[in-house]
Amino acid sequence: MDFRTRFPLRLWRPTVDEEVDSELDFHLEMRTRELMRGGLTEPEARRAALVRFGDVRRARRACRAIGRQREQRMRSTQYFSELRQDAAFAIRQMLAAPAFTSIAVATLALGIGATTAIFSAVNAVVLRPLPVPEPDRLVVVNEVWRDMDRGAVSAGNFVDMMADQAVFDAAAALTPVSMTLARDEGAERIIGVKATGDFFRTYRVNAALGRVFGQQDDAPGRDQVVVLSHKFWTRQFGADRGVLGRQITLDARPYTIIGVMPPSFDFTSDAEDVWVPIAFTPERKAMHDEHFLNVVARLKDGTSPQQAQQQLDRIASDLRTRFPKDDADRGFAVSPMMQSFVGDYARRLIILMGAVGFVLLIACGNVSNLLLARGAARARELAVRSALGAGQGRLVRQLFTESLVLGAVSAAAGVALAWMCIGVLIARAPQGVPRLDQARIDGTALGFAVGLAVVCSIVFGLVPAWRASRTDINTTLKESIRGAGSRGARDIVRSMLIGAEVALALVLLVGAGLLIRSAIETARVSPGFDPRGVYSARFSLPQTKYATPEAVLHAAEAIHDGVANVPGVRRAAVASNVPGVGTFSNGLVPEGEAPVTENVRQSMARFVSPGYFEAMGIPILKGRDFTPADRAGAPLVMIVNQSLARRLWPNQDPVGRRVMGSAPESDNPAATAKVVIGVVPDLHFDGPAAPTDLEFYQPLAQLDETAWGWTRRTLFIVARTTADPSSLGPAVRRVISSVDPAVPLFSERTMEQRMAATLETARFNTMLLVVLGIVGLLLSGVGIYGVVAYFASQRTAEIGIRMALGASRGTVLKLVVAQAARPVVLGIAAGAICAAFSSQVLASQLVNVRPTDPVTFAAVAAVLLVVALCAALVPARRAAGLSPTHALQSGE
């Protein structure tokens, strides 16, 4: 290395002004002397010299101006050439130390890659605005009822609210529906949305082809028009631009295609295929007690969500007065659309973002430590350079350039890693995370990665650079000969880094540990039924063809009988819901109590055929199952679960008691009271991680038209088989098409798959946090190893002396390990305190485990201690294995 070219000697370097003055003075003095030699006296000579010179001030000004200009140009050239030199030097340095470089780059790339991958997901799901004009003006309106704040809105309440409000530019009520699309061969289930006329006006989105529907289409008789999603148009019609005006048959009704939406109007991965007008009938518009609508609205300019909330509060209080029965305790809640759209995912992703941030910090800690160690090794080089005239600022700048180059290389590797991670993330993530499939390394993510690399470079470059800038030349030059750095301060910095890494790793591991504990607890929870060997699928009977309860029931029974006769089926049943899918609720009142709001027990309704409990493996705890004799005309019956039995009749036998509510209903509730004939156990209906509910069952055969409306005539066929339940599909399909080829079968799953699906999100989160926890653990292990190895190498001479004086291997081991023990223990303590707070963010995801679960904390602390001990023992054993002579020699 040529120091002279890098740091040219500047023994005397005057400023431009001094330079000019001194040069001109020199000239005048030389001229004066010459004239004096010619015989003039000094004053005469000086005057003559000045005359000869001309205008001194003008010359001086001209020279200074040119000089300054030149100085400035040189300074900036020098700056850039130095930067180039620094970068080239940094690259040479990195190539010269391949082990250091690859460890540092790998560590950082891991941190940057993981963080960038998660950031892309957060960006796609949470941060990116909805692709509509002024998305921040969009809100959703929910009904609130007692402690339920995300309730659906009834048609009556929506219509009355719209008539009174003055805060929205436009608003629409909608309901997602599963529709049957008739095709040449068989039928297909598609997802549709039925919406009121202002749906598209609310979003302010227009059709890419044709037109959207509006108010004029949203009336019975004019509502047979359909708008296609871009995805559906491509899939079903091969993006044929001639589809406008053609007809498709949905739920056995013809609809005319009037438009195709642009691809951007497709917020979620499992978004709707078609939109049709909802076309409320006048009766529906007057109905205030069936809550099934989602409401989106666009705020007027200058109206805040709070102002809208105030106005809706007033409207809700009017509605309570006008409809005391239906709207008792009901109100509206306005919330920003984005918030309700990404909902829980935002929270989960941000927790994840925090976790990867911790991994990144640990990675920075490690690289910082590596750079410190290299800084110590290079202290002498830096001191020599400093002695040769390199300024402190110049040295710090050089060290920073090295950090930045390291950061840039790591960012490149990290982006590649992130690119792979995103693929895995999208493939493994649970279904239904909105917009996750749009996560990619785009400009924003790239900018994030580069920003991250720069920030990291500054973070991990700061400590070593600061140390280098404080290095005293004399001490370093002297000490480097003795082989010891200025130890005290630097050791404290190292110990603090180790402590911080351990603390961060502990917080991560506590999170992972809590989720694992929760998963173990979840596995212990019995769902209340036996999901093994049970097949399930849905079918839908179009209302146009199956209008009366008798018609629906007849078809359902035919399908049931057909499936029951399939070889290998032990018991088949038909039901409105099965565990894991969908639900609706009804208010029940025990006979003998007044049918008023305070006495209503809101319970989950399940409508089932006889044999359902046997097919699902649900034991009848008391009483009897439904039989074919429980039909229309026979006494109305009901089976309740244990929780509902306890709630309705505490400490009494529920069998034989009567309960009012649910369908069939009449103006005289007592006339349609149902007799409880049996009790079944509580089910974990929405999966083992979800709480149990109050539940009741009614026979399908006793449902009236209203209740069939609640089911949307979509039913489950379930079958307990002796064979593999997943192989039952073709046989069931044959049965369905023999009953009605226009009825589609969909959502085929075994009950075990349905239960697993309810845990998919939790399992995915657990997996991610465990992976991050392990990465954090390994990184901090590597960090501890590095620091202990450094400590041991610094004390080689001391160890040699101790051993020469008779210290045993054990004593030396203890000596070396003890030095690392203190920061580790302090780190664990600090981490435990942080974790006690941070784990609260996981509280909602934990089943039967408290966020401060002492078992998890103890286990994680133990794991960390063991890893730290192992990481410390390797270099300590090496130190203790030295021969005293060797140790003393190398310590010279």
Q: Which residues bind another protein (CB under 8 A)?
A: 12, 14, 19-20, 22-24, 26-27, 30-31, 34, 52-56, 58-59, 62-63, 66-67, 69-70
Between CA 268 and CA 341 the distance in angstroms is: 10
Please, which residue, 34 or 134, has the CB nearer to another protein? 34
Of residues 3, 91, 72, the one with CA closest to residue 394: 3
Please, which residue, 20 or 293, has the CB nearer to another protein? 20
Please, which residue, 32 or 457, has the CB nearer to another protein? 32
Cβ of residue 26: shortest distance to another protein, in angstroms?
6
Between CA 754 and CA 538 the distance in angstroms is: 13
Please, which residue, 70 or 314, has the CB nearer to another protein? 70
b/e burial code for range 784-795 (CB count within 10 A of at least 16 → b): bbbbbbbbbbbb
Cβ of residue 21: shortest distance to another protein, in angstroms?
11
Cβ of residue 9: shortest distance to another protein, in angstroms?
11
Between CA 644 and CA 591 the distance in angstroms is: 14
Q: What does DSSP assign to residue 636?
A: P
Cβ of residue 445: shortest distance to another protein, in angstroms?
47
Cβ of residue 494: shortest distance to another protein, in angstroms?
47
Cβ of residue 6: shortest distance to another protein, in angstroms?
19
Which residues on neighbouring strands pair with residue 179, listed in sequence order? 190
| Nearby residues of 806 by Cβ (< 8 Å), 6 or more positions away | none
Please, which residue, 10 or 656, has the CB nearer to another protein? 10
Q: Both tokens of residue 502? A: 């351990």
Cβ of residue 47: shortest distance to another protein, in angstroms?
14
Q: Both tokens of residue 772? A: 């991050």
Total number of residues shown for the chain: 892
Please, which residue, 19 or 437, has the CB nearer to another protein? 19
DSSP string, 809-863: HHHHHHHHHHHHHHHHHHHHHHHHHHHHHHGGGGGGG-SS--TT-HHHHHHHHHH
Q: Cα-flanking dihedrals φ and ψ of residue 641, to 5°?
A: -90, 170
Q: Name the H helices within 686-807.
A: 705-711, 729-739, 751-758, 760-794, 796-804
Please, which residue, 50 or 484, has the CB nearer to another protein? 50
Q: Cα-flanking dihedrals φ and ψ of residue 626, to 5°?
A: -65, 150
CA angle, residues 218, 220, 223, in degrees to nearest 5: 50
- Asked whether the beta carbons of 816 and 876 are under 8 A apart, the reply is yes
Cβ of residue 29: shortest distance to another protein, in angstroms?
9
- Compute CA distances 7 → 78, 93, 96, whole Å: 11, 18, 22
Please, which residue, 33 or 822, has the CB nearer to another protein? 33
DSSP string, 688-717: TTSPP--EEEEEGGG--HHHHHHHTTEEEE
Between CA 828 and CA 507 the distance in angstroms is: 9
* Cis, peptide link before residue 884, omega less than 30° from 0: no
Please, which residue, 67 or 186, has the CB nearer to another protein? 67
Please, which residue, 4 or 58, has the CB nearer to another protein? 58
CA dihedral 515, 517, 521, 523 (to 10 degrees): 70
Q: Both tokens of residue 627? A: 């039989």
Cβ of residue 62: shortest distance to another protein, in angstroms?
4
Q: Cα-flanking dihedrals φ and ψ of residue 639, to 5°?
A: -115, 135
Please, which residue, 23 or 136, has the CB nearer to another protein? 23
Please, which residue, 36 or 632, has the CB nearer to another protein? 36
Cβ of residue 11: shortest distance to another protein, in angstroms?
9
Cβ of residue 394: shortest distance to another protein, in angstroms?
22
Cβ of residue 19: shortest distance to another protein, in angstroms?
7
Please, which residue, 62 or 866, has the CB nearer to another protein? 62
Cβ of residue 84: shortest distance to another protein, in angstroms?
20
Cβ of residue 88: shortest distance to another protein, in angstroms?
25
Q: Count Cα atoms within 13 angstroms, Cβ side, for 733.
A: 12
Cβ of residue 389: shortest distance to another protein, in angstroms?
16
Q: Cα-flanking dihedrals φ and ψ of residue 584, to 5°?
A: -140, 160
Cβ of residue 426: shortest distance to another protein, in angstroms?
59
Cβ of residue 462: shortest distance to another protein, in angstroms?
39
Cβ of residue 388: shortest distance to another protein, in angstroms?
19
Q: Name the H helices within 378-391.
A: 379-387
The secondary element (H helix, E strand) that includes residue 173 is: strand 168-182
Q: Name the H helices within 525-586.
A: 549-564
Between CA 775 and CA 84 the distance in angstroms is: 35
Please, which residue, 62 or 416, has the CB nearer to another protein? 62
- Asked whether the beta carbons of 414 and 104 are under 8 A apart, the reply is no
Q: Cα-flanking dihedrals φ and ψ of residue 70, to 5°?
A: -65, -40
Q: How far is CA 771 from the centre of its chain?
A: 15
Q: What does DSSP assign to residue 305?
A: H
Please, which residue, 27 or 347, has the CB nearer to another protein? 27
Tokens 């001639």 belong to which residue? 242
End-to-end CA distance of the chain: 27
- Going 483 to 486 to 487 to 493, the CA torsion angle's sign is negative
b/e burial code for range 288-318 (CB count within 10 A of at least 16 → b): bebbebbbbbbbeeebebeebbebbeebbee
Please, which residue, 19 or 290, has the CB nearer to another protein? 19
Please, which residue, 29 or 892, has the CB nearer to another protein? 29
Please, which residue, 64 or 622, has the CB nearer to another protein? 64
Of residues 7, 793, 786, the one with CA closest to residue 382: 7
Tokens 């007692």 belong to which residue? 146
Q: Cα-flanking dihedrals φ and ψ of residue 527, to 5°?
A: -70, -10
